[in-house]
């Protein structure tokens, strides 16, 4: 791990999935250029579910007492507040089902932000969010974080809609250390949950070693 990647991994608002053998095996499969699409989708979905479940660990809870079928009281907890998902189209849409699998009937907003491949500048084209999003905790979904431009633009859209920074949890599979640090510095309250931190980016602003274009591989639109 590079020194910059190590700096990201140690950041208090950056949460890396436990680096288990299972996770490493899953990530190896989806990084392999020879993995067929059906396997890429299946194993990506497994990682996405792990990420969503980890993200829920950072939501606030309140104490709650229930009675078990044995007639005995049990002191547990209940989530405080409501959540919603917001996917950054198109690749972020691949993470929606993983969120639905864990949170039934969850509301999901969508934001379309496209990056100019020459300048790497993000442009907002479309935004459709739940009307009460300002009162919810937001799981922001995008599998890859390179420069951070698109994710930062989306976080700005959320803030304009009334969402507080400390209610935004950005969930992604792979990030560059530059993009992660940029986003954490831009939004002092936001948290990031990721599966792995890569070494950096190439001259085209693609993550290295990365896994290629996630959206193309997931949705089968590769050239």
Residues involved in catalysis: 115, 119, 213, 216
CA within 13 Å, CB half, 99: 26
Q: How many CB atoms lie within 10 A of CB 87?
A: 23
First-last CA distance in the chain: 32
Output the CA angle 212-213-215, nearest 5 degrees.
145
Instruction: Give the 3-state secondary structure of residue 101.
Output: helix
For residues 185 and 179, the answer to whether their CB atoms sit within 8 Å is: no
18 DSSP assignment: P
For residues 205 and 174, the answer to whether their CB atoms sit within 8 Å is: no
């Amino acid at each position: 791990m590079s020194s910059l990647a190590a700096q990201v991994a140690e950041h208090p608002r950056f949460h890396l999935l436990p680096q288990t053998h299972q996770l490493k095996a899953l990530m190896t499969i989806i990084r392999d250029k020879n993995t067929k699409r059906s396997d890429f989708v299946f194993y990506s979905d497994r990682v996405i579910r792990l990420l969503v479940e980890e993200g829920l660990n950072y939501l606030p809870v309140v104490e709650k007492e229930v009675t078990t079928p044995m007639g005995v009281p049990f002191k547990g907890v209940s989530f405080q507040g409501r959540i919603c998902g917001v996917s950054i189209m198109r690749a972020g849409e691949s993470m929606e089902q993983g969120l639905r699998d864990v949170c039934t009937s969850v509301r999901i907003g969508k934001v379309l932000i496209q990056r100019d491949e020459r300048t790497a500048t993000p442009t907002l084209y479309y935004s459709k969010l739940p009307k009460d999003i300002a009162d919810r905790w937001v799981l922001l979904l995008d599998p890859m974080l390179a420069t951070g431009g698109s994710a930062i633009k989306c976080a700005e859209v959320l803030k304009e809609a009334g969402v507080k920074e400390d209610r935004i949890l950005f969930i992604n599979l792979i990030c560059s250390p530059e993009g992660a640090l940029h986003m954490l510095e831009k939004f002092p309250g936001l948290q990031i949950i990721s599966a792995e931190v890569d070494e950096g980016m190439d001259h085209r602003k693609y993550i290295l070693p990365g896994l290629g274009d996630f959206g193309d591989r997931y949705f089968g639109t590769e050239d």
